[in-house]
Copies of this chain bind each other. A is one copy, B any other.
Amino acid sequence: MRPSGRANDELRELSFTRNYTVHAEGSVLVAFGNTKVLCTASVEEGVPRFLKGKGQGWLTAEYGMLPRSTHTRSGREASRGKQGGRTLEIQRLIGRSLRAAVDLSKLGERTIYLDCDVLQADGGTRTASISGACVALVDAFTHLLETKKIKDDPLNGLVGAVSVGVYKDTPVLDLDYAEDSNAGTDMNVVMTQQGGFIEIQGSAEGAPFTREQSDTLLGLAEKGINEIIKAQQDALGW
């Protein structure tokens, strides 16, 4: 029995609120249950030095948690003077996942910054960030197309992400904090709309896991991500 009473293959209530803030080219508040992340996509002319003159664009991501998005306050990274290892790991994952969804050659010499800021955390902030940032990215591409800055849509397809894990010996979908902090195995999975995997990151928190368990978890994740991508499409009016 899950603490939330959900079925083992049941997602938390999902929502994607577009245009949540007014300045960004894409701005989405994504909620996976009580986990709420503000994802903005910002377009800037120019690319990093290593890409200059190659005629292609770039996409990068930054992640942060507001100090009191969590049960107990955690120190502000800006004040401590550096981003922690977990933050860097997550923002590298977000960037890699979304770059896989984009044909950068269609973007021109532009950079997309995806900022994922966690307003409230209840487990799964990195997968919510990826899923929400993808919708913000679509809105930014639409903006570029409508303002005629680009001709072809750079999006290869939507990308969704979810966590799965073994909670009390049972594989479950979309772990909340109560489950995540007690899970034996925890896996974050990123998939495309077409059904291919972009990232699989599985960790045994306690006992090691087997190839069969890994496969079962991937199956659960597939089901969940398909629902997430459906919700993205609904939010986008597709």
| Residues of A that sit less than 8 Å from B by CB | 21-24, 27, 34, 36, 38, 40, 42, 44, 62, 64, 66-73, 76-79, 81-89, 91-92, 96, 100, 113, 115, 117, 119-121, 187, 191-192, 194-204, 207-211, 214-215, 218-219, 222
Neighbouring B residues of A88 by C-beta, 8 Å: 84-85, 88-89
Cβ contacts A to B, 14 pairs, < 8 Å = A23-B121, A24-B68, A42-B68, A67-B115, A76-B78, A77-B78, A78-B82, A89-B92, A195-B208, A196-B204, A199-B204, A201-B201, A201-B202, A211-B215
- Number of copies of this protein chain within its complex: 6
Known: A44-B73, A85-B92, A211-B218. A38 touches B197 (CB 8 A): no
Contact pick for A23, options B69, B96, B113, B115, CB 8 Å: B69
Contact pick for A66, options B73, B81, B115, B194, CB 8 Å: B115
Neighbouring B residues of A215 by C-beta, 8 Å: 211, 215
Q: Which residue of B lies closest to A62 (CB)?
A: B76
Known: A79-B83, A92-B89, A194-B208. A38 touches B119 (CB 8 A): yes
Does B197 lie within 8 Å of A200, measured CB to CB? no
- A40 CA / B65 CA spacing, docked (Å): 13
Neighbouring B residues of A40 by C-beta, 8 Å: 66-68
The 3 closest A-B pairs by CB, nearest first: A196-B208, A85-B88, A77-B78
- A42 CA / B66 CA spacing, docked (Å): 12
Contact pick for A207, options B66, B196, B200, B214, CB 8 Å: B196
- A68 CA / B25 CA spacing, docked (Å): 10
Known: A21-B69, A202-B197. A218 touches B214 (CB 8 A): yes
Q: Which residue of B lies closest to A117 (CB)?
A: B66
With A40-B68, A79-B83 known, 7 other A-B pairs at CB within 8 A are A38-B119, A42-B68, A96-B203, A196-B207, A197-B210, A198-B208, A211-B222
- A180 CA / B78 CA spacing, docked (Å): 26
Neighbouring B residues of A199 by C-beta, 8 Å: 202-204
How far, in Å, is A72 (CB) from chain B's closest CB?
A: 8
Q: Which residue of B lies closest to A187 (CB)?
A: B200
Contact pick for A120, options B22, B79, B207, CB 8 Å: B22
